[in-house]
Amino acid sequence: MGEAVELEAGGRTVRLSSPDKIFFPERGFTKLDLARYYLAVGPGILRALRDRPTTLERYPDGVTGESFFQKRAPKNMPDWIPTAHITFPSGRSADEMCPTEAAAVLWAAQYGTLTFHPWPVRRADVDRPDELRIDLDPQPGTDFADAVRAAHELRAVLDEFGGLRGWPKTSGGRGLHVFVPIEPRWTFTQVRRAAIAVGREVERRMPDRVTIKWWKEERGERIFLDYNQTARDRTIASAYSVRPRPHAPVSAPLRWAEVGDAHPLDFDLATMPARFAELGDIHADMDDHAYSLDALLDLARRDERDHGLGDLPYPPEYPKMPGEPKRVQPSRAKRGPA
């Protein structure tokens, strides 16, 4: 596996063992290639992770080996990496790492972290999100081009309801993510309610192309706007994160002018460093903005008052929430008890 090497990041030295271990056999990328990638895009991924409780998606033996999600801060984590105490829907809690330096990303890469999953909160206030995150997820029979069409309509809806601006990125798969920086004034439940309102409005405008139906049997060949990605403890891969697929794709920040021209296959462990060197972090100005959700929450109230559109189902592992409809597949609900 080769002798250990030492890498410098922000004045800290991070030791990388087994640097020649193959992490992506199809492309021949090694652990050292992964670490050097994160060095190359350091300012970008640190902007996406800074002060956020972060779950690590680890592949210690590379993308073809076993993997796991690490929520709790590892016991061997250096004391210079801070943590935040977060509470899960189950009522349990944990301390999660909160990267504040590029060296923290390298340290996680040393232990096989490919993808970083930050919460939409900062460690100063872990119960009030500062990002509204919208996941446009292609369903069977749809593709990235369909997600692009939905993203452009979503952009118009965000602007119409409160003058919100979203920052788009590829998911690293077939979908798109749009992040909106918001004032940290609302709870997870309220932010999720705003996401539902956004989804319903996009669905009204594109009923044959977009759905917010939670049950897969109802989605059809449409883009699913996954409102539950805004629920507590649901996270989305950060910008610049490497995704665990054979060709080593990355979640790539985009300008709106690129949405429609760029393709997810354009961005991987080999190509993103050159793009970053040329353009820098094109989402660097996100932290300069913080939008209000008032207009979207007003829309949610009108939907409920005028159309009877209240809450939608939570994921199955969540406790039953006030106002939530029955958490049962429509086909089973129609059959009734045996």
CATH number at residue 88: 3.90.920.10
pLDDT at residue 338 in the model: 42
**Residue 99 lies inside a defined structural domain of this protein:** yes
Q: 20 and 77 in one domain?
A: yes
Angle at 248 between CA 247 and CA 252, to 5 degrees: 120
- My answer on whether 25 and 101 are in the same domain is yes
Three-state DSSP state, 167: strand
User: Residue 170 sits in a domain of what CATH number?
Assistant: 3.30.70.3300
Do 82 and 110 have their domain in common?
A: yes
* Number of domains comprising the chain: 2
Among 67, 92, 124, the domain boundary falls at: 124
Ordered DSSP codes for 129-165 = -SEEEEEEEEPTT--HHHHHHHHHHHHHHHHHTTS--
- pTM confidence score: 0.96
Let me know whether 49 and 103 are in one domain.
yes
Asked whether residue 25 falls in the same domain as residue 96, the answer is yes
How high is the pLDDT of residue 261?
Answer: 95
Whether 38 and 151 map to the same domain: the answer is no
User: Are 293 and 216 in a shared domain?
Assistant: yes
- Same domain? 183 vs 109: no
* Contacting residues for 118 by C-beta, under 8 A, at least 6 apart: 48, 49, 52, 53, 54, 55, 235, 238
Domain that holds residue 161: 131-234+289-307
CB environment 182-221: b (16+ within 10 A), e (fewer) = bebebebebbbbbbbbbbbbbbeebeebbbbbbeeeebee
Do 118 and 137 share a domain, yes or no?
Answer: no
17 falls within a domain: yes
Residue 334 forms part of a structural domain: no
Query: Which segments of the chain have a pLDDT < 50?
Result: 338
Domain for residue 186, yes or no? yes
Can you give the pLDDT at residue 334? 66
